[in-house]
Amino acid sequence: MKLVLASTSAYRRTLLERLTIPFAVARPDTDETPLPGETPAATAERLAAEKARAVARDWPDALIIGSDQVAHMGNEVFGKPGTEARAIEQLQRMSGQTVIFHTALALLNTRSGHIQVEGVPTSVRFRTLGDDEIRRYVAKERPLDCAGSAKSEGLGIALLDALSGDDPTALIGLPLIALCRMLRAEGVDLP
């Protein structure tokens, strides 16, 4: 069976390459709007599954990986900022706070229709940040395409006091420990 990553994220692609399994990449056209009353965790898990299903018709004999991440403090959600101004605002709001990055993973077997979905939360405590250091960080790393405006795999690690979670790759966007477990359940041999 072919392995397909239903994401155009360079971060997810780089993480998946660690497993040294050949895979294809497909763009899922998915509306990422949260449903009314939906919790951030439920949003991430629903979207991970929807992304996998969105490309299924083009891959009838494949294992399709979908993933989504929602960063939140309580019910306040921090998406991809898109602009420097919004990234600065997000980081100012998260300064001195603990933010949960809920990364959801789905693995869809298009042959059987079986889907596995798992959420992997990571608790991130931000240092108290000054406005100048936030602006310098955003100018240097340009974290405009990642939820919460901080790249822990890069310079963004300097913004943090602590991380707590079961899988360090979850925070970057693709929980590899959970993915390996799911792939093994589908009969994929991993080292």
Tell me the chain's radius of gyration from C-alpha atoms: 17
Of 31, 68, 161, 167, catalytic: 68
Q: Residue written as tokens 């360090």?
A: 168
Q: Could you confirm whether 145 is annotated as catalytic?
A: no
Strands (E), the chain: 2-5, 24-25, 62-73, 76-78, 98-109, 115-126, 160-165
Nearest Cα neighbor of 151 from 6, 8, 9, 11 is: 11
Non-local CB neighbours of 34 within 8 Å, separated by 6+ positions:
40, 43, 77
Q: Residue written as tokens 């963004």?
A: 156
Answer for the pair 16, 174: CB distance below 8 angstroms, yes or no.
yes
Give catalytic residue positions: 68
